[in-house]
Amino acid sequence: MKRSIIFIVLLMIVLIFCETWDIRNTSAEDIPIIMNKYTEAVNNQDVESYLELFVDYQKKMMKDYLKCNSTKSFFNNEEIRVLKCKEISLDSARLCTDLSSDNLKAYKDVRCYYAHLQNKNIDCSEWRDSFFVVITGEEYDKQRIIRLSEADINEAEREGFSFNIVEETVAKKKQNELVDKTAYINKAGKSISQPSVITVYFTNGINTSHYKNYKATISFDSYIRNVLPNEFITSYYSSYAAYKKSTAMAAKMYGWYNKIHSKWNFAPYYSDVMDNTNDQIYIYGTENKYSKDAWNSITNKALVDSSGVVFQTQYLANSGEKGSGILNATKALSKAQNGESYTSILKFYYNNSSNANNKTVKIVSY
């Protein structure tokens, strides 16, 4: 009789444990080996092992960081765990991480994952939920991490790869609250302002020399004014207002979107954007009269989809077609020279694009 009771109690404990585990975790064999190694390296504060998990261009930036910073600051006293992970399509992953096909040409066997992570400060007992898109590729005969980016959970739902769990719903609510705070109009119908600041990770010596650090939180308007001269031919701004305003708006909304969905929120970067071609080239002190004027011309305006949602405005020097979600800067100049308005240029590239959630776009004032 005693044995039967003990057996029943043990069985109930096991069932309760398994139910909880199934809700919150993926079995170990379902989590890619590289993600388990990533977790182990972070939790052990093992910089050397961590570096070996990333592709060369990431590893180089991390080594540059270590030249001027201690290994103690590298992980920000972070501890993490991976609870769920599923493989997703390359198209879905690229949409969430701003990686072009050109960025991936150097790698074989590219794989993409959507992962539910929890992280906390080592000195803190509270775990925080986050959701990342992870892209890996084969380099030197090993799978290595190309990109880790915080996922847009609304995008994950639209693309059909979300986990549909409580933690995801809570995280989405927080994301949406941040969007509401930086969208052109909130639920109460009151106009509100753009982001006031953005955190930038520096790879350019001019920036590290000025800020005496590898990253800084700087004013959003100063960031855009010092981006424009390095991304576009600002000397044309005084002659072609449509080129000025369309390119300035593309740069502004790119920064705005990535302030909401930080691209580099992992060791050792912990930033919204970088100062190089991974995002927009930012160099302190390069703003000029043309970029200042461009900023002033769009200060109280934003480009959003037809529902009023901020989206990622990609652009390239010589690539981008109608509805691609990528503004072609060279062709934008030609369109301006031919008399097209800046709104028609923006709509040509972003209307009904996947970036704009397959919706039309519009300029709004705030």
pTM for this entry = 0.83
Quick one: 106 and 244 in the same domain?
no
Does residue 6 form part of some domain? no
Quick one: 134 and 189 in the same domain?
no
Give mean pLDDT, residues 54-75: 91
Give mean pLDDT, residues 115-141: 90
Of 26-35, 180-189, 254-263, 286-295, the least confident: 180-189
Q: How far apart are CA 290 and CA 229, in angstroms?
A: 8
Quick one: 339 and 205 in the same domain?
yes
Q: Are 34 and 75 in contact (CB under 8 A)?
A: no
Tokens, residue 310: 């901020």
Does residue 14 form part of some domain? no
b/e code 301-335 from CB counts within 10 Å (16+ = b): bbbbbeeebbbbbbbeeebbeebbbbbbbebbbeb
- Among residues 177, 200, 232, the one where a domain terminates is 177
CB count within 10 Å of CB 365 equals 9
Quick one: 98 and 229 in the same domain?
no
Mean per-residue pLDDT over the chain, rounded: 87
Q: Are strands 273-274 and 197-201 parallel, antiparallel or unpaired?
A: parallel
Residue range of the domain that includes 296: 183-365
Number of domains in the chain: 2
Which residues, other chains included, contact 259 with Cβ-Cβ below 8 Å and sequence gap of 6+? 182, 195, 198, 220, 272
Q: How far apart are CA 343 and CA 242, in angstroms?
A: 8
Tokens, residue 351: 């209307």
Q: How far apart are CA 290 and CA 299, in angstroms?
A: 14
CA neighbours within 13 Å on the CB side: how many for 94?
13
- Which among 240, 244, 249 is positioned nearest to 310, based on CA atoms? 249
Quick one: 288 and 326 in the same domain?
yes
pLDDT value at 11 more than 60: no
Determine the 3-state secondary structure of 130 from DSSP.
Answer: strand
- Among residues 127, 162, 177, the one where a domain terminates is 177
Does residue 340 form part of some domain? yes
Quick one: 262 and 342 in the same domain?
yes
Quick one: 165 and 201 in the same domain?
no
Does residue 17 form part of some domain? no
**pLDDT score at 188:** 38
What pLDDT, in 10s, does the model give residues 169-204?
999 888 777 665 554 444 334 445 689 999 999 999
Bond prior to 229 in cis (omega within 30° of 0): no
